[in-house]
């Protein structure tokens, strides 16, 4: 009868020919440092991306830049609030410093205009939906007031029917603007790869 091997012995046999590539490890670590720096930059936009990259050994710069780029471009999303706009603006400034191209700067300005339009349209759309739903909401308030014997005021977002209508319409609006964000990301990647 043959000898039974342990799981460790089997794993060691299968990986005996796998060699670690020191250059690949260094590139991976450089990319991770780039991602870490990008997150620090988002917290403190006063940091200088160009100086950080220059301090890195030349053979690791591409990976470092890729890590910074990946983190910053991932922050470009549709804003949900004013705080999001600030985070996105910082990411955009970081990308502009990394890419250093006037055409990219113009593209970034266009994106910020789209975001301002989206935030404005989103607020107006939400108010319009509330106004359209107001008669139905008043009817529900009156019905509840009759049943409970006291005056009841409902917030539209307390009504599941309104919430469903609101979400459906707002998601359609988001989908339209998400196309602009996706196009911006694609263009940004092209500028970065040039």
91 in a structural domain? no
Residues 34-40 have a mean pLDDT of 92
59 in a structural domain? no
Question: pLDDT category, 140, cuts 50, 70, 90?
Answer: confident
The 10s digit of each residue's pLDDT in 170-190 is 999 999 999 999 999 999 999
Structural domains counted in the chain: 1
- Cα–Cα distance for residue pair 102/99, rounded to 1 Å: 9
119 in a structural domain? yes
Its pTM surpasses 0.85: no
- pLDDT (0 to 100) of residue 39: 92
Residues 27-55 have a mean pLDDT of 89
143 in a structural domain? yes
Question: pLDDT category, 144, cuts 50, 70, 90?
Answer: confident
Residues 140-155 have a mean pLDDT of 86
190 in a structural domain? yes
123 in a structural domain? yes
Question: pLDDT category, 2, cuts 50, 70, 90?
Answer: low
Residues 145-151 have a mean pLDDT of 85
Percent of the chain clearing pLDDT 70 (strictly above): 93
Could you tell me the residue range of the domain that residue 172 belongs to? 102-194
């Amino acid at each position: 009868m043959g000898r039974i091997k342990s799981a460790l012995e089997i794993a060691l046999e299968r990986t005996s020919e796998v060699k670690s590539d020191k250059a690949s490890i260094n590139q991976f670590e450089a990319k991770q440092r780039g991602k870490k720096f990008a997150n620090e930059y988002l917290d403190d936009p006063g940091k200088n991306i160009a100086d950080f990259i220059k301090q890195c050994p030349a053979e690791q710069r591409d990976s470092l830049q890729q890590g910074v780029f990946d983190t910053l471009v991932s922050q470009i999303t549709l804003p949900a609030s004013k705080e999001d706009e600030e985070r996105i603006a910082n990411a955009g400034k970081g990308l502009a410093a990394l890419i250093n191209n006037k055409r990219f700067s113009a593209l970034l300005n266009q994106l910020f205009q789209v975001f301002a339009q989206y935030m404005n349209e989103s607020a107006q759309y939400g108010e319009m939906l509330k106004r359209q739903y107001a008669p139905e909401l008043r009817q529900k308030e009156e019905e509840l007031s009759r049943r409970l014997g006291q005056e009841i005021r409902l917030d539209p977002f307390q009504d599941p029917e309104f919430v469903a209508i609101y979400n459906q319409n707002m998601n359609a609006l988001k989908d339209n603007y998400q196309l602009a964000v996706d196009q911006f990301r694609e263009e940004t990647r092209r500028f970065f790869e040039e």
